[in-house]
A = this chain, B = another copy of it.
Amino acid sequence: MFPKLDPILHSELRLAVISILADVDGAEFSYIKKQTGATSGNLSVQIDKLSAAGYISVEKGFKGKMPCTTCKITPAGIEAFENYVAALKEYISTEK
């Protein structure tokens, strides 16, 4: 009846990150940080988890001389997000 909620996505910050990445072609660490209001440390950890799950890809490069990390959602991430949303709806739809 109640489907399992993907624990990787059932996290406020990780969900916000995926939500952002679902809408754009790629986003920089600092942009995501600003949009979410997260601390650097927290964001760094959560990005690692999303990356370890294969839901996002992370590319480290430079913007001028400054290091710059860019994140992008993967097909697996898109699918996971869709599944999570579908599962959530089972919980939050006021049916019957």
Contact = CB atoms under 8 A, between A and B. Distances in A.
The oligomer's copy count stands at: 2
A2 interface: yes
B22 A94 contact: yes
A92 B78 CA distance: 12
State the majority secondary structure of interface residues on A. Answer: helix
B1 A35 contact: yes
18 contacts: A1-B35, A1-B36, A2-B19, A2-B35, A2-B36, A2-B37, A4-B12, A5-B12, A10-B10, A10-B12, A15-B92, A16-B91, A22-B94, A23-B95, A23-B96, A84-B92, A85-B92, A88-B92
Given A2-B16, A10-B10, A19-B92, 13 more contacts: A2-B19, A2-B35, A2-B36, A2-B37, A10-B12, A15-B91, A16-B91, A19-B91, A23-B94, A23-B95, A23-B96, A84-B92, A88-B88
